[in-house]
Structure 1
């Protein structure tokens, strides 16, 4: 009996416990249904309190939640200190970013093979003596023989037809030469036609207004037309005796300036590839003069380029090599034909060698090395690539030469080519003539023309003083070659015998010249161009700050000093929208009546709840479903945050590409 009543008691207690638990679950369900943690706020106080309780701004909750004044003061000082440090460092990062700093990275890139550079070779002698007979330069070679005291005419060694007629025409030629010399001496001898004295020289003078292209801002006070009237009294540009007598330059460079041969004359009178290039091999495989392209140079006559190509030609035409050392690369045996030299035009014997990129226009007069006769000249090269950022990063650069003074459909852009083209264009427009036949088939400037000579000297003076308006920025991508030159005596005495047999079988003219090792050394050049190593140096400019690094740096400072992320910006935006909603609710809210009813319902429900719960939750509404306007407000705020981020990133990208700019 006792046990049964005790069992009933336990059952009653269990039932009461289950009923109580069910009631609690029901209450919790109803409360959970009524509670909305993001319900509309009724006041600024409730909005700000909610913001402080949920924000990721770590400093603010500490400040407003501290129970003691000293603790509040501590967190205020800590927050302001971190905010100041963040502002200082963030400002420096942004300033650095908009100043476009860059760094230069140098790498050594090793490859199994490399594109072999283009090699341009020129005989330092412009035209051959044997080809100047019966031309407007014929008196020049006769004057050259008299001036050197050498009565031997080597022309017949190269021109069989001239040799056959030499006997019949020699008398007339001598008489003509004597008569010409007599006339020249009587009228233009050094005694009777000396150089202009100080009273005749033009000296420094102001040219403002004399030439149309001269600008008033240019300073010409230091310019001296010292050689303007050097050729006074000479009217015939082919009167070489008178020109020789009045020459003022010790190396006769002023005489060479009066030659002005055309491209057709240089092509015919200059040294020919089949005579100049005797032996050729590349990586120990035979090549010939047919593998060279020819162009005319105002100073060196015919020049020849190996492994060059135009922009229109395919890349597979370029020769590559996977071997290093002087036994490989390009090896040439060159015949300078020294008896064909005109002494008044050439003070040295040898070959000009220019090493450049395949599509670049060569300028042997500027960067050419001289390979001397009687020597083996070995040139070891190492490739160097330079890549520049350009734009707002450092000096302005160009990729294709657009917007510059350079224009060519066959050659790639270089600063040197652009400057030279600018000079020639200015001469052509201002003076009506040019001085370099590579830049067009125009009239060449003559020193005997006072107007042209005066204008030419002025333009060249302005060019060298950087006063011409030449737009020639550096190239964004540049390829050059560092050169190491070594030379040795060549050929040796014993090797010369074997060499002579080989060369005679190639060119019959050589048999008339290289009678011994001394003659061979006076006329033959051995040239080797090779890669020292199969690697190249890459100098690349890199931006110190990119968009990613800028955002990472600023974001890192935010997290380090303030404990924030970029998403915290959304909290600020929502807070501001909440303030707008409170103070301008009638404008932003499309259902103000629903809001009033929700507030009344909230008040009734709050009265029925316990005092503790009401005091804890009176800062925000928990019993009303989220209003449609509030859901729209949150959605718009989220879209606004992401749209703002997209706009910021887009502006930074446009700033990076140079579409927009900021002038500090």
Structure 2
């Protein structure tokens, strides 16, 4: 149509976009051809560059920003467990458990008569089992797993009565420069370490404790007696405690993330909180509900749910305190506690989980709170400190009972937990390529290759309006002309 052709020609002659007016105003076909090639080449580059920018934006990249803030800090939870889950004197009163230990002793060609072995009586017969397809370590690991499985099947009440009491474990305790006691701890249960103790408890410290000073003088100190004479023969390889430092009201995950502290040493742990904040979809994959403090809590919950479905029983009913401190619910629908007859089924589910057959689909929480730790150790007690420690022990354990320095180092350990500084590090994900950056980059490409700006886009809008207006009313009214930039 003549009207549309005239409108397009006027647009090409007056537009601010580079190169377009040259296609109309240039003299000679050769010059017009050169400008056409340049225009098409520039347009192709725009399409290529803009498509790459859009693809990069749709990837939703994220970048991590780290900030460090100095401020008063809330003291973490400290969970401790004796590496020996139950006392040997109690195991000997349980027919099923002592039979299992006795069978292991026979397999090892040893006798239980020498236990408890305290270094003064005759050691066990150091003979070895006959050669077999399995190593001694494999035998011990297998029996250890069976022992824990059978112990767990007995239920939390039995395990609690067999375990070492906090009053006999705790020699001395101080917190923020003040004495503390067994009343300041919460008792929790653990499938791997039996009965454990968590400090501080929510009753005496409902809002936690805010620290304004760093260093070991203002931290948490424990002196513990692990009582090696009560360690189960063959099944407790290490002497000490398992400790986990974690955020208040979060799961301890002692087996996976705990640290073993040996007897005969003073262990100092300086901590600094680290908060990690991840972006949810579409930037990443994380749980916005933060139902679990970390992915391990979700995996444990998944395992317990699989045991409940497959074995038609719940280990969490047998262990009433198992998730009390975590505030987590396994979603178990079984009202029957797991007992000895369920051990075979539970072992099969655990094996399937280890082989990756059970798919949990767990993802990390969007917010995770951990602690950086710097650990140092010294021998404890020192030779010249031992008399003072022995006096404390004699007052605490038995009037008149004197510990030798060897006995002290075999049974006693010291643990210090404190803030190494009052800085909290936050690692937070941010959108690396927001939409406004995409618009800016597209505008840069359009301006680079064709000189197109926002006003150039407005000219196109004006062109469309003129084409529609002149097409509909060109025959009846005066035709509107394209406005000149002048």
Distance across 2 between alignment mates of 1:315 and 1:548:
48
Structure 1 residues 111, 140: closer, same or farther in 2, change over 3 A? farther
Instruction: Determine the structure 2 residue equivalent to 1:82.
Output: 42
Instruction: Determine the structure 2 residue equivalent to 1:443.
Output: 337
Q: 1:111 offset after TM fit, Å?
A: 0.9
SS in 1 for 2:57: helix
Q: 1:479 offset after TM fit, Å?
A: 1.8
Distance across 2 between alignment mates of 1:350 and 1:86:
68
Higher strand share: 2
Distance across 2 between alignment mates of 1:284 and 1:578:
83
Instruction: Determine the structure 2 residue equivalent to 1:289.
Output: 182
Structure 1 residues 250, 131: closer, same or farther in 2, change over 3 A? closer
Q: For 1:232-279, what per-residue CA distance to the aligned partner results, in whole angstroms no more than 9, with x for missing partners?
A: xxxxxxxxxxxxxxx954774134432333111223332222322222
Residues 1:463 and 2:353 aligned together: yes
Instruction: Determine the structure 2 residue equivalent to 1:413.
Output: 293
Instruction: Determine the structure 2 residue equivalent to 1:304.
Output: 197
Q: 1:434 offset after TM fit, Å?
A: 5.0
Q: For 1:376-396, what per-residue CA distance to the aligned partner results, in whole angstroms no more than 9, with x for missing partners?
A: 1122333333222231334x2
Of residues 427, 450, 454 in structure 2, which corresponds to 1:562?
Answer: 450
Of residues 221, 245, 263 in structure 2, which corresponds to 1:331?
Answer: 221
Q: 2:265–2:378: 8 Å Cα contact kept in structure 1?
A: yes
Matched residue count? 448
Q: For 1:146-188, what per-residue CA distance to the aligned partner results, in whole angstroms no more than 9, with x for missing partners?
A: 944337799xxxxxxxxxxxxxxxxxxxxxxxxxxxxxxxxxx
Q: 1:332 offset after TM fit, Å?
A: 0.9
Of residues 422, 429, 443 in structure 1, which corresponds to 2:309?
Answer: 429
Structure 1 residues 302, 619: closer, same or farther in 2, change over 3 A? closer
Residues 1:397 and 2:295 aligned together: no
Q: For 1:204-239, what per-residue CA distance to the aligned partner results, in whole angstroms no more than 9, with x for missing partners?
A: xxxxxxxxxxxxxxxxxxxxxx9xxxxxxxxxxxxx
Distance across 1 between alignment mates of 2:22 and 2:261:
82
Distance across 1 between alignment mates of 2:57 and 2:198:
46
Q: 1:121 offset after TM fit, Å?
A: 0.4
Of residues 58, 62, 66 in structure 1, which corresponds to 2:22?
Answer: 62
**Mapping of 1:29-108 within 5 angstroms?**
43-67=3-27, 69=29, 71-105=31-65, 107-108=66-67
Higher helix share: 1
Q: 1:62 offset after TM fit, Å?
A: 3.2
Distance across 2 between alignment mates of 1:102 and 1:621:
46
Q: 1:46–1:619: 8 Å Cα contact kept in structure 2?
A: no
Structure 1 residues 499, 458: closer, same or farther in 2, change over 3 A? closer
Residues 1:482 and 2:372 aligned together: yes
Distance across 2 between alignment mates of 1:462 and 1:568:
65
Distance across 1 between alignment mates of 2:408 and 2:399:
9
Q: 2:184–2:204: 8 Å Cα contact kept in structure 1?
A: no
Q: 1:130 offset after TM fit, Å?
A: 5.2
Q: 1:117 offset after TM fit, Å?
A: 2.3
Q: For 1:78-120, what per-residue CA distance to the aligned partner results, in whole angstroms no more than 9, with x for missing partners?
A: 3333222221111100111112223334x25131333332211
Of residues 131, 137, 150 in structure 2, which corresponds to 1:258?
Answer: 150
Of residues 73, 77, 84 in structure 2, which corresponds to 1:118?
Answer: 77
Q: 1:375 offset after TM fit, Å?
A: 0.9
When normalised by structure 2's length, the TM-score is 0.79
SS in 2 for 1:493: coil
Q: 1:292 offset after TM fit, Å?
A: 1.7
**Mapping of 1:171-570 within 5 angstroms?**
249=140, 252-253=143-144, 254-259=146-151, 260-307=153-200, 317-343=207-233, 345-394=235-284, 396-401=285-290, 412-434=292-314, 437=319, 438=322, 442-444=336-338, 446=340, 449=341, 452-505=342-395, 507-509=396-398, 512=401, 514-570=402-458
Instruction: Determine the structure 1 residue equivalent to 2:113.
Output: 149
SS in 1 for 2:300: helix
Structure 1 residues 55, 304: closer, same or farther in 2, change over 3 A? same
Distance across 2 between alignment mates of 1:142 and 1:47:
99
Instruction: Determine the structure 2 residue equivalent to 1:655.
Output: none
Distance across 2 between alignment mates of 1:569 and 1:502:
86
Instruction: Pick 1 or 2: higher relative contact order, CA cutoff 8 A, min separation 6.
Output: 2
Distance across 2 between alignment mates of 1:337 and 1:149:
19
Structure 1 residues 152, 78: closer, same or farther in 2, change over 3 A? closer
Distance across 2 between alignment mates of 1:68 and 1:479:
72
Larger radius of gyration: 1
Structure 1 residues 100, 504: closer, same or farther in 2, change over 3 A? same
Q: 1:433–1:444: 8 Å Cα contact kept in structure 2?
A: yes
Distance across 1 between alignment mates of 2:211 and 2:312:
46
Q: 1:256–1:345: 8 Å Cα contact kept in structure 2?
A: no
Structure 1 residues 445, 557: closer, same or farther in 2, change over 3 A? farther
Q: 1:108–1:535: 8 Å Cα contact kept in structure 2?
A: no
Q: 1:435 offset after TM fit, Å?
A: 5.5
Structure 2: give runs of 5+ residues left out of the alignment. Answer: 119-128, 324-331
Instruction: Determine the structure 2 residue equivalent to 1:650.
Output: none
Q: 1:287 offset after TM fit, Å?
A: 2.5
Distance across 2 between alignment mates of 1:361 and 1:499:
34
Q: For 1:301-345, what per-residue CA distance to the aligned partner results, in whole angstroms no more than 9, with x for missing partners?
A: 221112466xxx999713233433444422111121333333355
Structure 1: give runs of 5+ residues left out of the alignment. Answer: 1-40, 155-193, 199-225, 227-246, 403-411, 600-617, 623-664
SS in 2 for 1:545: coil
Q: 1:127–1:269: 8 Å Cα contact kept in structure 2?
A: yes
When normalised by structure 1's length, the TM-score is 0.60
Distance across 1 between alignment mates of 2:270 and 2:386:
25
